Amino acid sequence: MTPSARIAAAIAVLADIEARRRPAADALKDWGLSHRFAGSGDRAAIAGLVYDALRRKASAAHLMGATTSRAVVLGMLRLDRGLDLAKLEKMFDGSRFNPDPLTADERSALAAAADGKAFADAPSHIAGDYPEWLDLPLARVFGDDRVAEGRALAHRAPLDLRVNTLAVSKEAGRDPEALRGTIAAELAHLKPQRTRWSPVGLRVAIGADAKSPPVHAEPAFIKGQIEVQDEGSQVAALLAAARPGDQVIDLCAGGGGKTLALAASMANRGQLYATDLDKRRLAPIHARLERAGVRDVQVRTPRPDVDVLEDLHGRADLVVVDAPCTGTGTWRRNPDAKWRMRPGALSERLAQQRTVLDRAAGLVRPGGRIVYVTCSLLADENTDQIQAFLARHPGFAPVPAEKTVSVLGDAAPAFLDSVLTFPEGLLMTPRRTGTDGFFVSVLRRSIAI
């Protein structure tokens, strides 16, 4: 397919998403099934166009003065891909399989983008590419910076990998940097770069039209030496500071991403219990544990009317709560979720967070810790939730951020300067740390009972 034909296909997919109010992944899958002539490179390029258009949906529509799928794609190509009017006129020429020629209004709108004044009077939610109803919640956290934070969330995320020290380290005394170098050499064809904050992270940049590399087919992945995990998620697991010999509970383990990272921090010594409110989310964890060489994890599958952690009450050194949340910090990876999110979803997540935090409180021993993590940017799910928890459980107190970041070693001072800090915890964002958005709060239980 030509670049122009790919653009025409992306416009059609976006129209389907809008008409049927469906997830982008479903619409792209259906398009691929009905256009089997399209190769994998074509499908990847079309998906890239669709997701980039969704990331810039509000600003692109504002630029073009219309909300149609064609307008959104045109606006995105100008704003995100940097295509000027001359290039767009060549691509939108109306020939077979190509989009119709540009109209006079479209030419005028695209030309206006060149003078940089298209967003001078635009509302914050338009300039920042986020839903209007979230403007006040984001203003609570970021103030006038919310537009810049929103724009950072409207760009494609890189591919981050975590080096699994359990599988790579076969020699005593090898440091994480040496292990990371070993894997980087094995993946040299992907041109990985060392992550800034995580000492066991590698980052692979992905171009606008490029396919995500088939990491799952790499020998290093098959041997359990690497895992796909955003650097912010890696850092959150490191801030939990699980140590060899600890008794640790991962209360919202899901597919096991942070469980695996915690097990690596514990060096397979101690005991790690993984569970989740929804047993379906635990399904992938068993194969992942085996592939990663993890030996200190017990998976506790939830059962109706049974407390599968009853024997652990008051015994845990550490309980990690990777809480269900709105996912506003992951909009780079899930741009269509940004526009499908509704206020009711926030209320539901807040109730789930309260439930799981209260459950965690009963599992921690005196002197032990709860580490609360969300991939949300909203104070309702982060600082407000922690304040409410502390009011219900006065035996806990937050650990200051400057103490929790020491596990990052030499990177700790710069990391602390980059994140937003609060009395209740710290917040990473794409704009500040180059990661997905993550809030982390470390809560210590008083030794006095």
- CATH number, domain of 212, equals 3.30.70.1170
pLDDT at 308 over 80: yes
CATH number at residue 63: 1.10.940
Distance in angstroms (rounded) separating the CA atoms of residues 35 and 444: 56
**pTM of the predicted model as reported, rounded to 2 decimal places:** 0.94
Exposure string of 395-405, with b = 16+ CB inside 10 Å and e = fewer, is ebebbebeebb
pLDDT value of residue 171: 46
Average pLDDT over residues 20-42: 89
pLDDT at 133 over 50: yes
* Active centre residues (catalytic): 375
Examine the fold and report which residue of 101, 122, 143 is the final residue of a domain before the chain moves on: 122
Average pLDDT over residues 414-434: 97
317 contact partners, CB below 8 Å, separation of at least 6? 243, 246, 247, 248, 365, 368, 369
Shared-domain flag, residues 209 and 305: no
Shared-domain flag, residues 163 and 236: no
pLDDT in tens, 382-396: 999 999 999 999 999
pLDDT in tens, 341-390: 888 889 999 999 999 999 999 999 999 999 999 999 999 999 999 999 99
52 in any annotated domain: yes
As for how many domains the chain has, the answer is 3
305 in any annotated domain: yes
Shared-domain flag, residues 244 and 214: no
pLDDT value of residue 395: 95
Residue 276 in marked binding region: yes
Shared-domain flag, residues 78 and 102: yes
146 in any annotated domain: no
Residue 322 in marked binding region: yes
Shared-domain flag, residues 189 and 221: yes
For residue 192, the one-letter residue type is P
Shared-domain flag, residues 193 and 293: no
Examine the fold and report which residue of 93, 122, 151 is the final residue of a domain before the chain moves on: 122
Q: Output the average pLDDT for the chain.
A: 93
400 in any annotated domain: yes
Of residues 289 and 172, the one with the higher pLDDT is: 289
Q: Which of 57-66, 200-209, 268-277 is the least confident region?
A: 200-209
pLDDT at 449 over 60: no
pLDDT at 172 over 70: no
55 contact partners, CB below 8 Å, separation of at least 6? 76, 80, 129, 153, 154, 155, 156, 331, 332, 335, 338
208 in any annotated domain: yes
41 confidence band (pLDDT: 50, 70, 90): confident
CATH number at residue 431: 3.40.50.150
201 in any annotated domain: yes
Shared-domain flag, residues 179 and 316: no
pLDDT in tens, 182-210: 999 999 999 999 999 999 999 999 887 77
pLDDT at 173 over 60: no
Average pLDDT over residues 148-153: 96
Length of the chain: 449
Backbone angles phi, psi at 26, to 5 degrees: -70, -45
Distance in angstroms (rounded) separating the CA atoms of residues 357 and 391: 12
Shared-domain flag, residues 414 and 295: yes
pLDDT at 175 over 90: no
Examine the fold and report which residue of 175, 208, 228 is the final residue of a domain before the chain moves on: 228
Shared-domain flag, residues 237 and 223: no
170 confidence band (pLDDT: 50, 70, 90): low
Shared-domain flag, residues 329 and 293: yes
- Residue 301 has a CB neighbour count (10 Å cut-off) of 13
154 in any annotated domain: no
Shared-domain flag, residues 78 and 47: yes
The domain in which residue 264 lies consists of 231-445
pLDDT value of residue 174: 61
Shared-domain flag, residues 324 and 418: yes
Backbone angles phi, psi at 19, to 5 degrees: -70, -40
133 in any annotated domain: no
